[in-house]
Amino acid sequence: MTKKISISEGFKGEEAIALPLDILQMQKLLPAKKNLFITHIGYYPEARYHLRNRDQGCNEHILIYCSEGMGWVTHENRTVHLSADTYYLIPAGEAHSYGSRDSNPWSIYWLHFKGEDSGLVQSLKGKPLALKNTGPQSKKHSLDLFHNIYENLKFGYHAETLDYISFTLLYFLASLKYQEHYLRNSRLNSENIMNKCIAIMKENLEKKLTLQELANLVGYSSSHLTRLFTEKMNSSPMTYYNRIRLEQACQYLKYSSYKIKEIAFKLGYFDPYHFSRSFNKEMGITPKIYRQQYYIPTDQINQ
């Protein structure tokens, strides 16, 4: 009989952070000590043959979010099946096992956490929690908080960072319990971030703004901002930025007397040839032809 393969970790493309013991001890001294705090956090993509058995439970609470595929959790003498966009919370000290379906392996975001129980653990435990679909982006909003926690931990374990993460974790759990309230606020926040990004882009049309600079200005990681922007605008930030630079180029070509090479340099292009290629690719004609067709002399404007 062939022995069934099982893997607890080490999946291709996985990401994980385990906080050092001295940092976990430091957590108890922070102002947020009465709140919950992260001990481990990570992501397992397409985790085929994933399996964990803990007859004595775990020292930490465990939250699993299945983003794709399917898996299962055995807890409290029953087995529940998780599919895409479903959470499950296992309290510390309670026996359990969980794993991925062989035929359609899950991709999971997961975190372990400790701390004095805020009441949220008991209210969320032991049941699969499906994210409510109240709009095309709704299933991604709670994960924004997960990514925010993960990205902050990547930058180190400063006391202020740990304090912030502790409060964010509490907010993250609350976003699962009170989804309608959270999604209402998240839609507004998402719109505000997009408006701020576009305003920054327009303020920097004459400078070659990079994705990292834009992300820093709005306080997000570049990968997180790209995901949010693409979901909202159906375009990556840099594609959108280049588009509005070319829209400004059209304005210059149509209404100003700047030479084409001057327009190129004003909009941060390496040289006039690079500008012409980009313009032609987006507009279907060269800057020279565009000017010949649409240029309006200054003395005719507003007439």
Question: pLDDT (tens digit, 9 = 90+) per residue, 127-171?
Answer: 888 876 544 444 556 677 888 898 888 878 887 888 888 888 988
For residue 278, what are its two tokens?
Answer: 């980009």
Right CATH number for 15-177 from 3.90.79.10, 3.40.50.300, 2.60.120.280, 1.10.10.10?
2.60.120.280
pLDDT band at 56 (very low <50, low <70, confident <90, very high): very high
pLDDT at 268 (0 to 100): 85
Q: Stretch 242-264: mean pLDDT, rounded?
A: 89
89: pLDDT strictly greater than 90: yes
Q: Tell which CATH architecture fits domain 188-303.
A: Orthogonal Bundle (1.10)
Break the chain into its structural domains and give their ranges. 15-177, 188-303
Cβ–Cβ under 8 Å, residues 214 and 197? yes
Please tell me the distance from the alpha carbon of residue 280 to that of residue 264, in angstroms, as a whole number: 13
pLDDT band at 302 (very low <50, low <70, confident <90, very high): very low
What's the pLDDT tens digit per position in 199-216? 889 888 888 889 999 988
Please tell me the distance from the alpha carbon of residue 86 to that of residue 267, in angstroms, as a whole number: 46
Cβ–Cβ under 8 Å, residues 162 and 27? yes
For residue 76, what are its two tokens?
Answer: 């409290």
pLDDT band at 4 (very low <50, low <70, confident <90, very high): low
Cα 175 to Cα 92, 126, 138: the distances in Å are 21, 17, 12
Please tell me the distance from the alpha carbon of residue 100 to that of residue 81, in angstroms, as a whole number: 10
User: Which residues face 65 on adjacent strands?
Assistant: 87, 109
Please tell me the distance from the alpha carbon of residue 217 to that of residue 200, in angstroms, as a whole number: 8
Please tell me the distance from the alpha carbon of residue 149 to that of residue 206, in angstroms, as a whole number: 34
Cβ–Cβ under 8 Å, residues 214 and 207? no
